[in-house]
Structure formats: C-alpha cells, structure tokens
Amino acid sequence: MELITKRVYGAEDILPADIHKWQFLEDIMRKQAQCYGFREIRTPVFEHTELFNRSVGDTTDIVQKEMYTFTTKGGDSLSLKPEGTAGAARAMLEHGLYNDGYPIKAYYLTACYRYEKKNYGRQREFHQFGMEIYGAASAYADAEVMCAAHSIFDRLGVQYVSLEINSIGCPKCRPQYTEARKDYFGQHEEELCDTCRSRLGRNPMRILDCKSPVCSKIAANAPKVLDFLCEDCHQHFEEVKSCLTAAHIRYKVNPAIVRGLDYYTRTVFEFVTPEIGTICGGGRYDGLIEELGGQPTPSLGFGMGMERLLLLLEKQKIEIPAPPVCDLFVIGLGENAKQKAFSIIEGVRNASLIAEGDIVGRTLKAQMKYANKIHARYCIVIGDSEIETNEAVLKNMETKEEKKVPLDDGFFNAFFTAYVESNQSQLLEQLNFMK
C-alpha cells in the first residue's frame, strides 16, 4: 500500500530510537539554565509578521527570503518563528514581566522555521535552545550568558569549542562606521552580488554575512567596527573581556563577527568548532525592546542549534547514556495468572520503575523472546502452579540468576531488594549525574 504522503522536505521525524539523545541534551540545558537562575518560557510557534520585520530586520536574508509567511482567513499576516528571541521579548512586554523587577532571565527550547536550502546540520524545521536576559546593562551580564553556554559544552564533554567575540557598537558610534562601510563597498559596487548591492544603501554591515566568495573577499579588507567604537562601547567591551578572563573562559576577538540579525548592538559572540562551524551565537540587543514598543531596556542572549550540537556529539564520539530499559517483564499464563501479572506490573510502575507485560497475545516462547529484545532486566513467569503456591521465580536476564519470590504483598519488597542489589553501580552513576 502506497503512503498518502510523506514528511515535508527539510523537516525530520525524531523517532523513539533516537529521542533519548534529545531528552539527554534538553535535561542538561534545563539544568544548566536553572543553575544560572533562568526560568523557562514557551511562546507560540507563529507570530504577527510585523514582529520579525521589526526585530530581525527587513534587510536580513531571514525576512527577505527565508520566513514561512501566510495570510489567515481574517486577513492577518502571520509567520512561523525563524528564531526564538523576538517571541520571548514580545511575551515579556505583553505580560509585563518587568513589573516583577529586573533582571528577567528566561530560557526556551523551541522549534524554528526557515525556508532555506537543506544542508548538513541545517533543516527547514530546526530546534533552538536560547537564554535571554532583560534589564541588565553590565558587562558581567554579557560574560554570564557566554559562561552559561560554555557550561553546557563542558557538561557534555565537547572539545575544541572556541569562543569568538566582537563589538559592533551602538547607535552613537555606528553611523560613522556605517558611512565608512558605504564608502568602502561603494568602490566595489559593481563587483558585489545583487543582494549585497541592495544592502549597500540600507544596511552595509549585512554584506559581511554574504557567502559569495567574491563578496567575502571584498569584505575581508573592509573597515573594522572596533576602530570606530565610542568610548562607552570600548569600555564595555574591555570589561567583557576582563570578566571572561576572571571566569577562566578563553576567547578570541574576531572583528568579522556581526551576527545575522539587525537587533544586535555592542557585544556579539559565537562558539565555533572545526567540525561543523558555529553551534551557538548571540550578543546584546539593547534597542530591541524599545523597537517593539517598550521602554529602553538593555537586553542580551544567545541561541544554540540542537541538531548541530547533536551532530557534534556524534562526530566527537561523545557517548550519550542509553535510554532506560524495562526493569521487569511479567508473563501471565492463564486468565487468573494474567490478572495477577497485571496487578504486579501496575504496582512496579507505581514505584516509578518500568514494567511491561504482553498485550498482543504472544505465546510463552514469543514473550521470552520479546523480553530479551527490549533488554528487560528481570522476568517472571506466572502460571497456574505459581498461583496455587503463591510463589514464582524471578530471573535476572543478564546474570541468569534465579530467585523465588512470593506473589503476595511481599513480592515488591523482594523485587526491589534484588533490583537495588544488582543495580547499585548504575544507581550511583545516576545519582552522581543528578548532583
């Protein structure tokens, strides 16, 4: 039978065999975010298109070429979120989170959508982890979000991750830099691609994002933003570097980093790896909240691509803990035995362990085969004779050790004792990981 339809190009199914990798990554991200005082925020998958036009910038490739935009039956223009910051900022303003006082620290795990060419580590539907701080102008806040991202890589055991930082100035010093850029790129206007020529008059900094070899070569010799910083921006950047040094975080100043979104000001940064390039990027966006209708509010944050991070773990052969397996598989032969088996299964589940039984009508042999297939730790077979004697044999499927256990209320004590004794090392590892 032919399928009616298949998944949309650029979107991937995350299957049960792989979901433990995502859950492992998400658990670490949540824990590290909580260590830094961040709380989770969840925003809708679509927003009014105007939000992204104002925040991301209508001169960016994201807005011009990549957003999924549609008109509702009521005539509203909506877009699937291409990144997480704009929605979080809108929610902060709309719900008046600032009334609780600053700083506001929020993190999110969200799906994002960009209509771009599917590439290695890049999908049209992708997942992003982000952390946002609102109401903090201090250089310590800049260093804090970079330290938070760095802590995730440390926790995962990722190697060869380099932090690259830059400052792109503020509205006070940016105009002089913009004019210098226009003058420089204006001399090469005929050589630029069509997209960069359109950017020349409106936002020449975006030319640095162009992937064209010709534009990239021209941009390499363009004026550097660090040479145009005002005293306040220069001082702020020096303080950021001092904070990173105090936290023993190595970094490299890279004047080519500008990030691809219009809302960035002052500090911008990327974490890059030799295997797949950038895996995390962010910076300060002090003008974003005002642009969205709020009061001037210093803000900053980062986004981290989860697909790319999982690819990096795979490339570096970093082992992700195996998913939990069935702790007890109970086989019931006969109606009375099935009822007893069902009761035991539910009792074990109520103790937060994994218990399974047959629900598709397999034979005894097929059930034993299935118990092995799902790597059940223990198995117990209950038949008429076990019901009569109120006793059955608990089998350790790995060591093949067998032990008689009662089938009354004493079963649970006997099973839990055997479980703890045979899984002490694993339980200790789990406790150590949770610390």
Name the strands in the sheet holding 77-80, side by side, starting at the edge strand that comes first in the sequence.
46-48, 77-80, 69-71
In the numeric block, which tokens belong to residue 297? 């509010």
Query: Residue 103 and residue 5: Cα distance in Å, rounded?
Result: 47
Check residue 142 and give its pLDDT.
98
Any idea which residue has 């490339």 for tokens?
315
Sign of CA dihedral 231, 236, 242, 244: negative
Local confidence pLDDT in tens for the 435 residues of the chain: 788 899 999 999 999 999 999 999 999 999 999 999 999 999 999 999 999 988 887 656 677 778 999 999 999 999 999 999 999 999 999 999 999 999 999 999 999 999 987 776 678 999 999 999 999 999 999 999 999 999 999 999 999 999 999 999 998 988 888 888 888 888 887 888 887 887 776 677 767 767 778 888 888 888 888 999 999 999 999 999 999 999 999 999 998 887 766 678 899 999 999 999 999 999 999 999 999 999 999 999 999 999 999 999 999 999 999 999 999 999 999 999 999 999 999 999 999 999 999 999 999 999 999 999 999 999 999 999 999 999 999 999 999 999 999 998 889 888 888 888 776 555 444 434 444
Tell me what pLDDT residue 59 has: 58
* Sign of the CA dihedral with 127 first, then 128, 129, and 133 last: negative
Provide the H-helix boundaries in 331-392.
335-350, 364-373, 384-389
Give 191's contacts (C-beta < 8 A, 6+ positions apart): 214, 218
Domains in the chain and their CATH numbers?
19-173+229-315 (3.30.930.10), 328-418 (3.40.50.800)
β strands within 254-359, DSSP E: 265-273, 277-284, 299-305, 328-332, 355-357
> How far is the CA of 392 from the CAs of 175, 355, 397, 412, 420, in angstroms?
82, 17, 15, 13, 19
DSSP character at residue 407: S
120 CB neighbour count, 10 Å cutoff: 9
The angle subtended at Cα 28 by Cα 323 and Cα 80, nearest 5°, is 95
What is this structure's pTM?
A: 0.86
